Amino acid sequence: MTSTTMVLVVVLSIWMIVPVAMADSGFISTTCNKTHNTNCVAVLTANPDSADASTVSDLAGVALDLAVAAASDAGAVINDRSSRYGGTPEGDALRVCSGAYFDAANDLDIDARDSLGSGDYATASRLVSGAGGAADTCKAAFSAAKVSSVMADINQKMKDRCNIARDLIDRLITPNPK
C-alpha cells in the first residue's frame, strides 16, 4: 500500500467517525443540560461507553455503572489507606467508611441496577441517592474523630457520580418536566 493510499484511508476513517462522536456528545450535552448537573457532561463524555448511548435510559445505565465503579474504587482506596492508619482515629473513621461504601456498592450494583432494568425508576433513584449518602457518612466519621479526612476526594467523586445517575434516572420518571 502506498503512503498516499494509507493517508486517504486514515482521513476517510476519521471523517466517518467524527460526525458520530459529535452527535453523541451533542446528545449527552442536551440530556445533561436538562438535569442542571454541572458535572454531567464532563463525566459522561470522558467515559467511552457513553458514546454508544442513544437514549436517556442508556445514559442512566452508564451513569449507574460509573457510580458502581466509584463505590468499588472507594473500597479499594479504603483498604489501602487502612493499612497506613491502623490504630489511629483516621483508621477508626476508615472502618466506618468501609461499611458505608460496602453497603453503597451492593445497593448500586444489585438493587439499583435491577430496579433500573425493570423500569422501577423511582426505586432506582431512591437507591442511588441513598448510596450517595456513603460519602456523607464517611465525611461525618472523620468529623466525629476530629481529624482531617483522607477520603475527601473519593467522597466527592462518589457524590458526583451518584448525583449524575440519580438526575438521569429522574429524567426517566418525569421525562418532560417544564
Mean pLDDT of the region 87-94: 95
Q: What's the grid cell of residue 109?
A: 450494583
Q: What is the pLDDT of residue 23?
A: 37
Q: Are 28 and 49 in contact (CB under 8 A)?
A: no
**pLDDT of residue 112 exceeding 80:** yes
**pLDDT of residue 138 exceeding 70:** yes
Mean pLDDT of the region 133-148: 97
Query: How many whole angstroms separate alpha carbon 19 and alpha carbon 25?
Result: 10
Give residue limits of the domains in the chain: 3-173
Prediction pTM value: 0.82
Mean pLDDT of the region 58-76: 96
Return the CATH architecture of domain 3-173: Up-down Bundle (1.20)
Banded pLDDT at 148 (limits 50, 70, 90) = very high
Q: What is the pLDDT of residue 175?
A: 59
**Dihedral (CA of 29, 46, 107, 138) sign:** negative
